[in-house]
Amino acid sequence: MDNVANLMHGFSIALTAYHVGLMMAGVMLGILVGVLPGLGAPNGVSLLLPLTFTMDPVSAIILLTSMYWGALFGGSTTSILFNIPGEPSSVATTFDGYPMAKNGRAAHALTLAFLSAATGALFGVLVITLLSGWVAKFALKFSSPEFFAVYLLTFASFIGMGHSSPFKTVVSMMLGFAFAAIGMDTISGSLRLTFDMIELVKGISFLVAVIGLFGLGELLLTMEEGLRFDGIRARISPREVFQTVRELPRYWLTLLRSGLIGCWMGITPGGPTAASFMSYGIAKRFARRKDGYGKGEPAGVVAPETADHAAGTSAILPMLALGIPGSATAAVMMGGLMIWGMTPGPMLFIERPDFVWGLIASMYLGNVVAVVLVLATVPLFAAILRIPFSIIGPVIVVVCFIGAYTVDGSVFDMGLVLAFGLAGYVFKKLDYPIAPLVLAMVLGDKAEDAFRQSMIMSKGTLGIFWSNPLVGTIMTLALLLLLWPLASALVQRLGGAGSASSSVQAG
């Protein structure tokens, strides 16, 4: 096979002491920026970019991508330990990761997250290696109607899984859509819902909302219960890692399913955020025991982490082959590629095979290096949790606010974080689900843009969503998933099962 030979050639480029050293440096820096909510992979990449101008392009991209892997892993760490997702794509990890940590299984949750993330990433690279020619062509098939169908599928797989009142789910999700609509409207080019406040011109950043809703909201709850993080004790021993490794095969179905979802979403590109939410939703829906989810179910950590990294990894391919950056980090990296004198696009694979395959080989190695290093940092993070709460609590507060400020350098955002923190606290206590709000905020404006672009294309007819087999299939699948809870409740009722147990949650 051509690709395997190319890959071997790639390994011969990537597997040098210098490159492995670069990987380690990149990963360490990545973990640092990933852990701090104020900084993210884009910061790290922009910081390193000037350094790379003098480097060989392969070395440069290895450094940058390794930093990206490190940041992805670091983001999961704060999600699990403090309920503060560093990246949109690690929000779903908080759902079960944080409860696990609270129940005293922080080390277990972290190890599980890292290992499933690495599995997902390897899954993604394998797909890239084997299908590189075909994948780019597949991605080209996607236009606005297909994107809308994918977003709808994400919502459909996630919705209707809560135990809370359907009204509260609707309020939460619609608030998310409303926040997403604030600011510049791509389709009409006018500002919406800014009420002439210049602070709202840029819209409400998803990160600001999440830092408040999850980070501060959780701190307030912790304080009220007088818990002071006593529950969290993360100690990690090689034995524990080993045990978790042995435990991993038990989740093979979740791993496989999430890996597939991740690759699909990475390639199309629906993105890692959609992938992790969808994967969590599906895992829960098809789980035998649904009750454990949200209270510290290990599979609830495995599913989003695998999908997140599978998507993040496989998204590199459309970036290289088509020149569409799937994320802010990818956009900065593409800027780098151009400065190094390369043009992302279909010809890159033909013109610079050494670069492309060196990069792909480095993705295998980089992820292995990253998982080893990140496991090594677990005791360090565990130690942080042993600091008395009257110190670490305020430090987390400070980190939350600095994080919110750095998103856009806006004082107004710090006030917003405060408001979202209060909302997160009240919502949690009154059983409003927060996840639908977050999901709607992330995908809301994208879904709206895709829908309205489709309508411009079709001159206002909905038929465009069934105009070809691809979009028709995704759309039908989405509607089926959406109606599933209703249908199953109906079947239950017709079957004469006790109607009290019928739970049409949040349709």
Partner 1 sequence: MPMFPGRLPAGFVITRFAMEVATALVTAGIGAVVALGSLEYGTGWDDAGPQAGYFPFYIGLFIVLASLGTLTQAVLHQRGRQRGSREVFLNAEQAGRVLAFGLPMVAFVVATVLLGLYVATALYLFGVMVVQGKYRAWQAAAVGGGTAVFFFVLFEIWFQVPILKGPLEAWLGLH
Partner 2 sequence: MKKTILAAALLASAFTAGAAGAADWKPAKPVEFVVTSGAGGGTDNFARTIQAIVTKHKLVAQPIVVVNKGGGNGAEGYVYSASAAGDPYKLTFGTNNQYLLPYVAKLGYKASDFAPVATMALDEFLIWVNGESPLKDTKAYVEAAKKPDGLRMGGSQSKDTDQTLVSLISQATGAKFTYIPFKSGGEAAVQLAGAHIDSNVNNPNENIGQWKAGMVRPLCVFSPARMEAGPKVAQGMGWSDIPTCKETGIAIDSYRMPRTVWLPAGAPPDAVAFYADLLKKVSATPEWKEYIERTSQSDAFMAGEDMIKFVKQDETRAVEVFKAEKWIVQ
Q: Which residues bind partner 1 (CB under 8 A)?
A: 33, 36, 38-39, 43-44, 47, 165, 167-168, 170-171, 174-175, 177-178, 181, 185, 187-188, 190, 192-193, 195, 216, 219-220, 223-226, 388, 390-391, 393-395, 397-398, 401-402, 405-406, 409, 411, 414-415, 418, 425-427, 429-430, 432, 448, 451-452, 454-456, 458-460
CA distances to 65, 92, 174 from 418, in Å: 34, 22, 21
Site for partner 2 in 99-128 (CB under 8 A): none
Among positions 39-58, residues that touch partner 2 (CB under 8 A) are 42, 46, 49-50, 53
**Nearest CB to partner 2, comparing residues 195 and 226:** 195
Instruction: Tabulate helix, strand, coil % of the chain (nearest 5).
Output: 75, 0, 20
The sign one gets for the Cα dihedral 182, 184, 188, 193 is: positive
Residue 219 interacting entry, from partner 1, partner 2, none, C-beta within 5 to 8 Å by type: partner 1
Identified binder of partner 2 from the candidate list 8, 140, 245, 387, rule CB under 8 A: 140
Closer to partner 2 at the Cβ: 217 or 269? Answer: 269
Q: Is position 472 an interface residue for partner 2 (rule: CB under 8 A)?
A: no
Indicate the residue among 185 and 354 with the shorter CB distance to partner 1.
185
How many residues of this chain bind partner 2 (CB under 8 A)? Answer: 50
By CB under 8 A, residue 347 contacts partner 2:
yes
409 is a site residue for partner 2 (CB under 8 A): yes
Mutual orientation of helices 91-100 and 435-458 as an angle, nearest 10°? 160
Rounded to a whole number of angstroms, the minimum distance from the CB of residue 96 to partner 1 is 26
Largest CA distance in the chain: 73
Nearer to partner 2, 96 or 445 (CB): 445
Tokens of residue 398, six digits: 């400070």
Binds partner 2 (CB under 8 A): choice among 231, 292, 345, 472? 345
From residue 320, how far is each of 127, 326, 335, 353 by CA, in Å? 15, 11, 12, 12
Q: Which of residues 261-290 bind partner 2 (CB under 8 A)?
A: none
Residue 491 in contact with residue 503, Cβ under 8 Å? no
Using CB distances below 5 to 8 A depending on partner kind, what does residue 198 bind out of partner 1, partner 2, none?
partner 2
Tell me how far apart the alpha carbons of residues 87 and 79 are, in angstroms, rounded to a whole number: 9
d(Cα 317, Cα 330) in Å, to the nearest integer? 11
Task: Figure out which of the listed residues 338, 387, 426, 430 binds partner 2, where binding follows CB under 8 A.
Answer: 338
Interaction between residue 415 and partner 2 (CB under 8 A) = no
Q: Please, what is the minimum distance in Å from the beta carbon of residue 193 to partner 2?
A: 12
Give residue for tokens 């009420």. Answer: 195
Map residues 175-214 to x or -, x wherever contact with partner 2 holds by CB under 8 A. Answer: --------xxxxxxxxx----x-x--xxx-----------
Which of 7/216 has CB closer to partner 1? Answer: 216
Residue 345, Ramachandran bin (φ over 0: left; ψ between -120 and 50: alpha; else beta): left
Member of 160, 212, 272, 325 binding partner 2 (CB under 8 A): 325
411 lines the binding site for partner 2 (CB under 8 A):
no
> 3-state SS string over 161-197?
CCCCCHHHHHHHHHHHHHHHHCEECCCCCCEECCCCC
Instruction: State the CB neighbour count (10 A cutoff) for residue 133.
Output: 11
Closer to partner 1 by CB, 411 or 491: give it: 411
Q: Shortest approach of partner 1 to residue 461 CB, angstroms?
A: 9
467 near partner 2, judged by CB under 8 A: no
Provide CB contacts within 8 A for 157, sequence distance 6+.
277, 278, 281, 282, 285, 481
Q: Which residues pair with 183 in a beta bridge?
A: 192
List the single partner that 323 binds among partner 2, partner 1, none, CB under 5 to 8 Å by kind: partner 2
Nearest distance in Å: CB 381, partner 1 = 17
* 442 φ/ψ sector (left φ>0, alpha ψ -120 to 50, else beta): alpha
Exposed, middle or buried: residue 141 (CB in 10 Å: 0-12, 13-18, 19+)? exposed
Binding flag, residue 449, partner 2 (CB under 8 A): yes
Piece in contact with partner 2 (CB under 8 A), picked from 154-162, 372-380, 430-438, 452-460 = 452-460
Short-list 316, 411, 329, CA closest to 47? 329
Cβ neighbours of residue 227 closer than 8 Å, sequence gap 6 or more = none
CB contact at 8 A, 83 and 328? no
Q: Among 27, 299, 315, 334, indicate the residue that binds partner 2 (CB under 8 A).
A: 334
Partner from partner 1, partner 2, none binding residue 55, C-beta < 5-8 Å depending on class: none
User: Phi first, then psi: what are they for 496, rounded to 5°?
Assistant: 80, 10
Min CB(57)–partner 2 separation in Å: 14
What residues make contact with partner 2 under the rule CB under 8 A?
A: 42, 46, 49-50, 53, 140-144, 183-191, 196, 198, 201-203, 322-325, 328, 330-332, 334-335, 338-339, 341, 343-348, 408-409, 449, 453, 456-457, 459
